[in-house]
Structure 1
């Protein structure tokens, strides 16, 4: 077994997980939350982060 076949078998999984993290970052920004923070959390939590984002309310922006 070579290393390339091992990596290639997991490539779609990594691409899907990374795409989900990007979607979660955009969703977080739409709710006035940190896109970078949620991107990183999504890399760790995956679909659970999506569920949390959907359930969390939108943060009100502060008016100065």
Structure 2
């Protein structure tokens, strides 16, 4: 695999991890997955610093 393919794979993997993190905090996994596709590591930061929703 070339360098750009690895970057795409890493970006997609990070977006799936972010979706799982968001669901764990009571947020929409789909919305955060889509946001992560655009924002990448910034979305991870936003998910981590936001407090969990009351369930």
Q: TM-score, normalised by structure 2?
A: 0.94
What is the count of residue pairs matched by the alignment?
Answer: 54
The higher-RCO structure (CA 8 Å, 6+ apart) is 2
Aligned to 1:13: 7
Unmatched 5+ stretches in structure 1? 1-7
Q: Unaligned 5+ residue runs, structure 2?
A: none
| CA RMSD between the two structures | 0.7
Q: Per the alignment, in what secondary structure is the counterpart of residue 51 of structure 2?
A: coil
